[in-house]
Amino acid sequence: MKKRDNELNDRRKAATDTKAALLEKFRAAQSDPEREAKLAERVALAAAREERQAERDRLKAEEQERLKREEAERLAALEAAARAEAEEREAADKLRISRVIEDEAARKAERDRRYAARKARQG
């Protein structure tokens, strides 16, 4: 049983020594100027990355706004063209109707003239 206790004690001591070594290494790394420089570099890189992302987002928003404006202008042009076409059709219809009315009035006037001429001959 003695051998077993020694093995357990050896493993415990090895684990304690390893933990102590890791703790010492961590403490040494905390005060390392190179680590602080790397950390500062990482912070600077992160700030630059965020800045680039903000610029990309701004450009994307501008592009979307430009596309919205162009789409609105295109729709306005289409509406204006449709409105102009409808007005043109309406004007053509009115012209056709006025011509029909004029032709009908001319036919009636011609009929009335012939009727009056016939009555004058008979009369």
* Residue 7, domain member (yes or no): no
* Residue 19, domain member (yes or no): no
Residue 9 CA, distance from chain mean position: 68
pLDDT at 90: 96
Q: Which domain holds residue 89?
A: 32-122
Q: How many domains, the chain?
A: 1
Query: Is residue 44 within 8 Å of residue 37, measured between CB atoms?
Result: no
pLDDT grade for 4, boundaries at 50, 70 and 90: low
* Residue 108, domain member (yes or no): yes
* Residue 112, domain member (yes or no): yes
Give me the mean pLDDT over the 113-120 stretch.
92
* Residue 81, domain member (yes or no): yes
Say yes or no to pLDDT of 56 above 90: yes
- Read off the pTM: 0.47
